[in-house]
Structure 1
């Protein structure tokens, strides 16, 4: 009976704790070793992750203001609000995945994996290869399936009309060891500036300028090249090419690897099948992010649990209109007005994923104190909404017009002029 009583108490406590705000769950780990063990158990991590998924989600990004100072911005969802604060020049936000943020502390030549919720962080030296040819870096967090993460850097080198990609991989199980994996291709295509590496189903995906995709499997530690989608050439002729600016975006929406392609007449959305290794066009909608001179005035927003959203800049202003897909009416709806946004944005929602801290013996005490102070500022700004400096103020805020948090993977609508809403979606 004693064991049954203990299992009952753990079940009851687990149910109670899983409904608490995450910052209180972190504090509960201090109550006893038994409670700490329950909270750290993988089964509880799964329950906690699912229960909090889609809540307290934020989009984080960095911009330079008019005085060339770096600014750290966030857009909180549910409801939608925007706030900003200053960020030291040597700090750069590089990636976000399942509750961990990857930060570059250039002054001490270290990457930092940081969990703002638990305050854990791990400093990682740069790989020994030259950073001059570094094109992308990605953070892979396996939480809640396991409590491990991996860093992957992607660099390239042209050799005899071929392109050699070098992947440097580091695992949290061996935080001091970078391993190199190579892939040679017979085409020379760069990775677009501003596009980010996307983690999906154990692999990291990087878009190339021609629409092909570089895929690195972090479990098998091997890379492949996914061919340029066949539908691109057909739609280029049918819907008209965009001649300037970025016209293809890669991201993850509602658990699917998703490609958004902008043509003069339409926006085409495609999803990737891992088994077939092919793209399938799922939806198209009228192009409502094209400016009057034929330039793109907006970009997709990747919010993990939602259909693709879009930010569209108002002409001659710094204001952006956020459009979110409403599955109930099969249309895009105007959700909010935002100020001064920038691509790329990183989707962040808090979790208890571990950063696996180990001491950094090769960093001076002053540098460690400086890093700790900056991480505390970032934590307070992300988790508690407190600006880094007292003179910093919150940006504009507006309420979301959509109350749906759980949306189905369905079609987009044909965008119409006037209200900015979209008409019926067309599924191809």
Structure 2
């Protein structure tokens, strides 16, 4: 048996396609993840409690790294059964499972159009190409709800067109807290605060909750030149504190489900800089620390949704105005910014978990590219890689 056969025939082989969106990886797991059952949020719970070792195997060393990101294909959910969605997904990272991810959605859109394997995507043949726009619409069920994705294609619709951006419209987004003043206890203050005893931040929801803080509010001189290690240390400690603060906890309560009600990320923003593609009214930059303080290389699509909702709530962003959002990577290469606009306002979110919210629908677009295809196995007695590891675990 040659090596290719060994990998193909391995009983628990995990088969993946790797892509990137503005440098941020998406490892798409299309075969080999243990079968899950129930609603998608129930499947997310099962993946967290029963198969976290598999998540670590995919994300962490030696197959991945601390900042790896993934999307697991799910072929059976309640929205697939109802006909609202074509496919489902679970988003995964170094700390567990998220509820929404924009950069991974952009990558998934291309992959789902390009695959014609009905074992991977049973409803692929239901996708229809629009001959006028040369696009295909794909509805993806994510833990936060339904994501409507539009993928540019070749004329015959058989393949995606990487020269044009993928767009998505996520679930309704809203500003959860505006200009929230958070006191910082003396023992938790950092040197860059320069004697201040509080900070002001916003909290907004774009499929996941983000605390949005201006870099200068943290005591840093914008994001044009930044010490990533230093600001990362500050954000890590700050996030842990914010997650216990009563005003923040209250703002994080999503009306529809407690399982959506957690602080996913801190986004440090700089509205004074940003690569500006043609056709937009303005540009800005953000540095996103998510999960276990992973750094997003992309502009962070779900946070772009949240930032648009926040700007709209502040009266800064009307419907149909196009705005560009950058990461450090898109600024460096002067390409890869995500652009966004608000499609609809006045959407009422109601439920039993929190106060009613006025929300908007946001359209986000960006480009993703393929980087490789992989099959992962675990050989007998390979304790080191069975669940994956981080160097921090080994050194602590």
Pairwise same-fold verdict (TM > 0.5):
no
TM norm structure 1: 0.25
The structure where strand makes up a greater share of residues is 1
> If you compute each CA radius of gyration, which structure gives the higher value, 1 or 2?
1
The structure where helix makes up a greater share of residues is 2
Q: Which protein, 1 or 2, shows the higher relative CO under an 8 Å CA cutoff with sep ≥ 6?
A: 2
